[in-house]
Structure 1
Amino acid sequence: MTTTETDALPVEALPVHVPLVTEPLGLMGSLAAARRNLLEILPDLAVRQPMVSGRTGIRWHMVMEPAAIRRMLLENIDNYPKSVTTKNLLKPAIGDSLFIAEGAHWRWQRRAAAPAFSHRNVSALGPVMGMAAQNSLDRVEAAGKRAVDYYEEMVRATFEVIGNVTFSEGAQFDPEQVHSAIDDYIAAAGKVSILDMLGVPGWVPRPGRLLSKRAVGEMKALADQSVEARKATGPGMPPDLLDLLLEGEDPETKRKMNTAELRDNLLTFIVAGHETTALTLSWALYLCAFDQGVQDRAREEAQAVLQGRVAEAKDLDSLPFIRMIVDETLRLYPPAGILSRTAREADELGGREIRPGDTVMIPIYALHRNRLLWDDPDAFRPERFKDRKEIERYAYLPFGDGPRICIGVSFAVQEAVIILATLLSKRRFSLLPGKAPKPVMILTLRPEGGVWLTSEPA
């Protein structure tokens, strides 16, 4: 099918997607759209051209050209730090953790944390992921044919994983309390302010971001206590993520994280480590229910490999089609739908002038649906990932790329394949008429209204 034919298909023949903007919104229109759903600020040109530029209070550029993205994320990375808006949104909650830090401060933290996410350590977490998958399957089977919100179910399943691998038994506080506090903070403070769009410096208070300051402060204090308590008692067996981070050090400087640095990174891992995977799994189940042929093929693979067992880390290479479903889900619904940077110095991207202070965005959602890069971009076709070498490197960025690629990529993919394979091997999922999810992005790309499906024994 050609792109033109795809464009001509009725909306119901394609998975849910966001209609992109065809007319300029202006400053106030852009602000209203950004506060409602960040994806609604994306122009339709972003899926048809390699680059789009404009001014909405501040100069901005949206980059969809792989060579220009490579320059931003690899060749000239120091010129494109996280945007001021991103830092203003997240720093009060997660401080100068890996997600926020820049330059030398980021580099040494990355080197210190990297061993905790080694292939060996991630593979060793497979049984924890398998247990969470089985517990989720038990809940799904107990629900019978009753409709279930699978976004909430996948949040529960992935939170079980991150809670168990982040804090072993005896932790001084409930990780769920941490997630709730940060979620409340994002709900109150995570929306773009007109001050952000006008380029007002970050030290000027954004009223909404003061609302959850107390709750976040209390949560950080509890996390600090937990870190100090673990330092006093020593690691458990086997060591959990906190133990591994306490042991981690920068191999070049031998520096270790202090309590505040450990706390900020743990809070980042707790929230990001389950939120993104929960989103991927809930969208994947929606897509499998949307295309029963894909679901049948995935179930056949899962049943042949698992033969009644829960999926394990060692099974991943034997579940290539389920991995393709995960990859295609991340293409259609990337958890981080937009990456935003602020240029430090003058540069050129895609033949266009970049000035210091310009906002330079990589709209991952639009990049993954750009008609210059993908055939049938709005269609659900897992087979496009059969040979990943055919996918242009900087055309597919669900986890970013370059030195700052997400440190937990292997963790997230392993968890998603284990849980998805376990559920599909036993249950058949179907859409609930009239309850299609709506892709809405504030900080992550969530299914507004939930992912309501029914299931029955396979």
Structure 2
Amino acid sequence: MPDGTRPPALPPKVELVQQPLGILQTLRKARENLIEIIPEIATKQPIITGKTGIIRWHMVMDPEANRRILKEKLDIYPKSDVTKNILRPAIGDSMFVAEGAHWRWQRRAAAPVFSHRNIAALAPIMSASAQAVCDRLENCGGQADVFDEMVRATFEVISDVTFSGTGSMDSSGVHRAIDAYIDQTARVSLFDVLGVPTWVPRLSRVFGPNSLGNMKSIADESINARRASGPKPVPDLLDLLLEGSDPETGRQMNSAELRDNLLTFIVAGHETTALTLGWALYLCAFDPEVQEKLRAEAQSVLQGRIATGEDAARMPYCTQVIKETLRLYPPAAFLSRTAQADDTLCGRDIRRKDTVMLPVYALHRNELLWDEPDAFRPDRFGPDASHDRFSWLPFGDGPRVCIGSHFAMVEATIILSTLISRFRFERIEGRDPKPVLVLTLRPEGGVPLRISPAPQG
């Protein structure tokens, strides 16, 4: 039965607050689960405005306003100072954090790295990771935390495509470092909530542990070793970045810029795709009809083998499942900007230094934009469906759209289709994950599922 003609499948969601919170409540919620500071009315309106401490803020859930923020008036709406202060200790002034001319030249230099041709050349690494996770699940004893498995699988990919499998980093160590960084450094502070100027130090960020220091050292060593040894026979991301230059100026990244951008790709690239796959497998377990439809497509295309990069374009329903997963559980579920000039959004006056938030989680569940917004319905991304591109922002949009979005979609398609073609995933009663956002939207408690061989037909 088509998705649109049966009762909606309503997976777990965050219960949003009924009205904007005070300072202390905002601080507590923001440190525990940032989504919980979003008022429920944000899922029913195009914009809401409020004030916390001395901060005047606006939450925007309107596609036209999003287009203005992310594309038409990019210089008026740079990333918020709070966002930069949280991320800069980890990834320096990489293209994810940089603004203006410094961002533009880095983006131009790195863009060819993520061309479709280069990603196609790296796709066999994704297929090898899919095979490895299949081997592990065949011996998991009938149950596994698939989020943990996806973290391992996507780290294997990013490690190999970045450093050609030198084995110098281990996935569990990297994830522990990321967790420690989030716990000590990436949480919102009281000064952030009160609007205290960002030049006033946040003690947790000054005295927090340098949990990513080891990763920085390893990246520096790898860059120096590659400069000495020369490129690999099949260039990896490091080779491509070393060779890359700004086509307008000829400028190339120095070692520090290379390191910071590599760390951005490693930390963001594997975590966000692992989250997408973990949530997608949960949703397939939650809705067996979707899982069966996806399995039929995958088995028809793959015929028992591991998916390849060429297969990704031949499985449109798999793409629909991934896009619907990204709508319900976007890894980057909350974006923040600081207005640099007076402006107008949705008829609302925006003043210089106002905080402009794009709560992607609320945007993706807004009743004005989506029919049955809390339901899991992959067919809403089918060939006959349509939606405003700025109503679906898992990768952002405009000039700063995620540079690795195609890489992520190909990787997710290869791994998800392979797993669904070979295994059946079932929920464990009472162990549904809760979406919790600090820096990314993670499943609290992981994603434990029952796993058994899929019928082959």
Give the alignment's TM-score, normalised by structure 2: 0.95
Aligned residues: 448
Which residue among 368, 377, 386 is the counterpart of 2:373? 377
2:441 aligned residue: 445
1:152 aligned residue: 148
- Residue identity matched to 2:123: G
What secondary structure does 1:434 align onto? coil
Contact 1:428 1:455 in 2 (8 A): yes
- Residue identity matched to 1:355: R
What secondary structure does 2:210 align onto? helix
The structure with the largest helix share of the pair is: 1
- Residue identity matched to 1:97: S
- Residue identity matched to 1:24: P
Q: 1:169 to 1:433 in 2, by over 3 A?
A: closer
Higher mean alpha-carbon deviation, 308-317 vs 170-179, is at: 170-179
Q: 1:245 to 1:26 in 2, by over 3 A?
A: same
Residues 336-355 of structure 1: pairs in structure 2 closer than 5 A: 336-355=332-351
Q: What do the CA deviations read for 1:191-249 (whole angstroms, capped 9, x no partner)?
A: 10010111222222212223444343443233222212211111111111101000000
Which residue among 95, 103, 107 is the counterpart of 1:98? 95
Which residue among 126, 131, 137 is the counterpart of 1:134? 131
1:3 aligned residue: none
What secondary structure does 1:203 align onto? coil
Q: 1:219 to 1:210 in 2, by over 3 A?
A: farther
Higher mean alpha-carbon deviation, 25-34 vs 388-397, is at: 388-397
Contact 1:178 1:267 in 2 (8 A): no
1:409 aligns with 2:402: no
- Residue identity matched to 1:422: T
2:42 aligned residue: 46
Residues 55-454 of structure 1: pairs in structure 2 closer than 5 A: 55-57=51-53, 58-145=55-142, 147-170=143-166, 177-387=173-383, 390-454=386-450
For the residues of structure 2 that align with 1:245 and 1:183, how far apart are their CA atoms?
27
- Residue identity matched to 1:361: M
Contact 1:299 1:424 in 2 (8 A): yes
- Residue identity matched to 1:137: C
Post-superposition offset of 1:178 = 4.9
Contact 1:172 1:229 in 2 (8 A): no
What secondary structure does 1:454 align onto? strand
- Residue identity matched to 2:307: A
Q: What do the CA deviations read for 1:352-371 (whole angstroms, capped 9, x no partner)?
A: 01111100011100000000
What secondary structure does 1:79 align onto? coil
Q: 1:215 to 1:49 in 2, by over 3 A?
A: closer
For the residues of structure 2 that align with 1:358 and 1:274, how far apart are their CA atoms?
33
Q: 1:221 to 1:144 in 2, by over 3 A?
A: closer
What secondary structure does 1:397 align onto? coil
Contact 2:122 2:236 in 1 (8 A): no
Higher mean alpha-carbon deviation, 195-204 vs 85-94, is at: 195-204
- Unpaired runs of 5+ in structure 1? 1-5
Identity %: 61
Q: 1:431 to 1:115 in 2, by over 3 A?
A: same
Contact 2:20 2:37 in 1 (8 A): no
Contact 2:159 2:169 in 1 (8 A): no
Contact 1:48 1:370 in 2 (8 A): yes
What secondary structure does 2:432 align onto? coil
For the residues of structure 2 that align with 1:355 and 1:432, how far apart are their CA atoms?
49
Post-superposition offset of 1:170 = 4.1
Contact 1:368 1:374 in 2 (8 A): yes
Aligned-residue CA RMSD (Å)? 1.7
Post-superposition offset of 1:186 = 1.7
For the residues of structure 1 that align with 2:113 and 2:313, how far apart are their CA atoms?
22
Q: What do the CA deviations read for 1:11-53 (whole angstroms, capped 9, x no partner)?
A: xx51000011103321111111111100000011110000010
Post-superposition offset of 1:377 = 0.2
Higher mean alpha-carbon deviation, 16-25 vs 392-401, is at: 16-25
